[in-house]
Amino acid sequence: MELKNTYNHKFIDGGVCAARGFKASGMYCGIKENPTKKNDICLVVSDKICNAAAVYTQNKVKGAPILVTKKNLEKTGGKAIAVIANSKNANTCNADGEEKAYRMCGLAADVLGIKPEEVIVASTGVIGQILPIEPVERAVKPLADSLSYTGNEAAATAIMTTDTVKKEVAVEFTASGKTCRLGGMAKGSGMIHPNMATTLNFITTDCAVSTEMLQKALSEVVKITYNCLSVDGDTSTNDMVCVMANGMAENAEIIAENEDYTAFRNALYEVMMNMTRMLAKDGEGATKLLECTVSGADNLDTAITVAKSVICSPLFKCAMFGSDANWGRILCAVGYADAEFDINKVNVSLSSAAGTIDVCKNGAGIDFSEEIAKTILSEDEIGINVSIGNGEISATAWGCDLTYDYVKINGDYRS
């Protein structure tokens, strides 16, 4: 899919290996028997210790890797060197879950010559099944031996579950006169809903940023990207976004909200926003990316709430699958959003590469061509534009259509 460039960045190749000093690897180890032998475990390692920040699922049920990673970052004061992650098994709701997650950290630390608490651990896949540790034990040495500054693709494919495509984005930007790079990889296709809305997301940068500013930027950007994403209304137990900064670009460390902080935050937004779009477009069974932009709000929270309300509506998602300009479902979702605005000032239009059509003015329907609307909605990327007043604030939420295949995929997910 075409990347959106909000801040005129230069997009580059490399994903988590785009930034200086980051190596990665991935391989099939057999956590779940798979005749296609798809990669199911990966390592990402920095040449230097990194400042690190993370945000996690808000589900009360949290995977053991989430709990262990939080404890590790607390113990190190926000420092990390490596990430070890697996797919096919979430290591969640298991009595020995934390023991296995700590074991994964220890295995990676031993082979890399670092401390176990300097390892971020993550898992994704089936919930409630015991994670077999033996495949991980066998894989760690080959993973370390195959680490490469061009190993990003092997790592990005290793975290995929029902994803149909790998998801990577990287950009260049400038901080204190130095060229910096920031890149990431993400996975997610189902069990995706706001409040940490994806599964696994890893972002690396060679920009020098303090742990405090790293956490601030991540928390700000996740609110307007991943937390505005919904595929199916289910918030995963294992959602995580982590950012690691090794400072190898040699810029003056960003320790306050200044011009360099803005440049870093904008680069982080560019990468996370585009990965959010990728996650939405690759929703389980999806045929269309839906992008709802709400404008005219008095504040950001109102704009976000209304946009998410539309994107999360199952009836609206079904209508988009059928290319049906049933704008009443949009207005219905706008109306039950938990936000204050005048419904009589709401305007709605639908857009795509095939054009734009107005379907609602001042909270009421207007005449429009169903044929033209059908043509517009038959594209694979659809814009839903909602104006709710005269305010100056806008926000965007992302999702996908709801199809027959979504039910098929989730009807035999464990098979």
Hey, which bits of 141-246 come out as E strands? 167-175, 178-186, 200-205, 240-245
Q: Indicate if 198 belongs to the active site.
A: yes
Q: Report how far residue 252's alpha carbon sits from residue 227's, in angstroms, rounded to the nearest whole number.
A: 31
Q: Report how far residue 204's alpha carbon sits from residue 217's, in angstroms, rounded to the nearest whole number.
A: 14
Check if the beta carbon of residue 92 is closer than 8 Å to that of residue 199.
no
Which CATH code is given to the segment(s) 10-281?
Answer: 3.60.70.12
pLDDT per position as a tens digit, 203-261? 999 999 999 999 999 999 999 998 888 765 555 667 789 999 999 999 999 999 999 99
Domain locations in the chain as residue ranges: 10-281, 289-411
- pLDDT at res. 196: 42
pLDDT per position as a tens digit, 48-62? 999 999 998 777 777
Q: What is the largest CA-CA distance in the chain?
A: 69
Q: What does R_g of the chain's alpha carbons equal in angstroms?
A: 21
Percent of the chain with pLDDT over 90: 80
Which CATH code is given to the segment(s) 289-411?
Answer: 3.10.20.340
Q: Which of helix, strand or coil describes residue 410?
A: helix
Q: Report how far residue 235's alpha carbon sits from residue 193's, in angstroms, rounded to the nearest whole number.
A: 5
The answer to whether the 10-281 and 289-411 domains have the same CATH topology is: no
Tokens 């795509």 — which residue? Answer: 352
Overall size of the chain counted in residues: 415
- pLDDT at res. 239: 79
- Considering the chain, what is the average pLDDT of its residues? 92
- pLDDT at res. 408: 73
Confidence band for 189, pLDDT divided at 50, 70 and 90 = low
pLDDT per position as a tens digit, 135-171? 999 999 999 999 999 999 999 999 998 788 899 999 9
Confidence band for 412, pLDDT divided at 50, 70 and 90 = low
**The 355-361 sheet, strands edge to edge:** 364-365, 355-361, 347-352, 381-387, 289-297, 393-400
Check if the beta carbon of residue 357 is closer than 8 Å to that of residue 349.
yes
pLDDT per position as a tens digit, 279-322? 888 877 789 999 999 999 999 999 999 999 999 999 999 999 99
**φ, ψ at 306 (rounded to 5°):** -70, -45
The one catalytic residue in 57, 92, 198, 237 is 198
- pLDDT at res. 410: 64
